[in-house]
Amino acid sequence: MRAGWGYPAANVLHLVGLAMLLGAIALLDLRLLGYGRRLPVPEVSRLLTPLGVAGLLLVCVTGVCLFAADASALIGSRIMQLKLGVVAVAVINALAFGVCFRDRLADWDTRPPRLGRASAALSLLCWPLALVLGRLIAYT
């Protein structure tokens, strides 16, 4: 896959997916932490969740392609393993948030509950950390 345009195309699409995912997640998480109080939480979630999900799907598909191009080297990489663990925590956090809180977002315009804010903080920690770890893979 490294020959021709396949690898660079997958890399560019991976970056586009990351921008979609991290942009949407960061804005929603910041709203949950109290920024942009004039914007209703349900509306912010309704607008940004599809963008974040599309970004996540694009990142997953292109990530598999990028991994397949160099699987023998990446499979033993401790940084790659750590990145996948951080991504797993972030995805589980997002899924748990959706399952536990999706129907209660209308009540969160003034101040989300502590658990909701903790989920947003964890998300803001995990997703950028996964991005940094992904970049570090190239240097190990």
pLDDT one-digit tens code per residue, 75-124: 999 999 999 999 999 999 999 998 988 888 888 888 888 999 999 999 99
The number of residues in the chain equals 140
Model pTM score: 0.89
Q: What domain range is 95 assigned to? A: 6-137
Report CA-CA distances (Å) from 94 to 7, 20, 55, 80, 97.
29, 15, 14, 21, 5
Residue 25 counted as domain residue: yes
Residue 84 counted as domain residue: yes
- The DSSP-derived string for 89-128 is HHHHHHHHHHHHHGGGGGGGSS---HHHHHHHHHHHHHHH
Residue 1 counted as domain residue: no
